[in-house]
Amino acid sequence: MVADPYEPFRLAAQRTHSRGIFFGFMAAYYRSFAVPHVAKQLVEHGEILRNPDKRASDTGIVIYEVIQGGFDSPRATSMVELLRRVHRRVVGSSDDYMFALVSQLVTPVRFTRTYGRTPLAHDVVEAGVAFYTELGSRMGIAGLPRTFAEWEEFHNTFENEHVAQSVEGLLLMERALPGFRARLPAPMRWLGARVLSAAMQSAAVSEALGLPVPERVGQAVLKVMTGRGGSRETDFFVPGQSSRSYPLGYGLGDVGPESRSLGAADSEQESAR
């Protein structure tokens, strides 16, 4: 039997480093608002402005469904097809598509390195590269780097060239920030902007989003939240689970911009569980 090349990454996302990867996914999602031409398209499409919490939630659900089920499972196949449909509606360069994909790995790896109890092991990072390379291939994104070092280099170069403050980026962050606060434990929600800034690990990105300069208070909150509890005994994400966005659970038809569901608030685990 051939070993699953993505299993180390799945175990990290679901068990050993679940909170660090979860917060890293969120930081990757929000940092796209710091790229003005991307933010402009997102505002024009209007979905995030109409329902920012559901959009953020659904983005996480799509990735976790593929991680959990594997690429050839019916649920994951449905989610990859959803990604393909969504991306066909977006006008962007090959670098834009590549950056969106690369950020989904580079940001969680960096986040866990800084705030986790332990950094992700080499085999986990390599499995992550393999996972997102396969996802990119199924989405029609060609020319992805071969090593994580090359992924980081591309990510850094893209941000250095494109990150800047824009009216659209500030508007998106203003609409999205309440949903991020709702993911934090109640006593820490007033610190939401400072915590999200620390999660970005980039003064330039924080400035582009109108967030405070990253500082120790936000960093301390993330260290506590990411490091608590250690490895999990059960999976962090369970397909179809109930949540604030989907109190009765969700079906695959609820996920995405064409869905009929108009839930509000966090679809991932309550307060990162």
143 within domain boundaries: yes
* 259 in a structural domain: no
Q: Judge whether 218 lies within some domain.
A: yes
pTM of the model: 0.90
238 within some domain:
no
Q: Long-range contacts of range 136-144, CB-CB < 8 Å, 24 or more positions apart?
A: 136/98, 136/101, 138/71, 138/80, 138/84, 139/80, 139/83, 139/84, 139/87, 139/97, 139/101, 140/84, 140/87, 141/94, 141/97, 141/98, 141/101, 142/94, 143/94, 143/98, 144/98, 144/101, 144/102
The answer to the question of residue 203 being in a domain is: yes
* Tens digit of each residue's pLDDT (9 = 90 or more) over 130-169: 999 999 999 998 889 999 999 999 999 999 999 999 999 9
Domain count of the fold of the chain: 1
**C-alpha R_g of the chain:** 17
Q: What is the pLDDT along the chain (273 residues), one digit of tens a residue?
A: 457 899 999 999 999 999 999 999 999 999 999 999 999 999 998 889 998 888 888 999 999 999 999 999 999 999 999 999 887 777 788 899 999 999 999 999 999 999 998 999 999 999 999 999 999 999 998 889 999 999 999 999 999 999 999 999 999 999 999 999 998 999 999 999 999 999 999 999 999 999 999 999 999 999 998 877 678 889 999 999 887 778 888 999 999 885 543 333 333 444 444
Beta-carbon contacts of residue 187 (< 8 Å; ≥ 6 apart): none
Domain that holds residue 170: 7-228
Of 40, 39, 34, 36, the residue nearest 203 (C-alpha): 34
Residue 170 belongs to some domain of the structure: yes
In a domain, 161, yes or no: yes
**Which residues touch 104 (CB under 8 Å, ≥6 apart)?**
25, 28, 63, 132
Residue 43 lies in a domain: yes
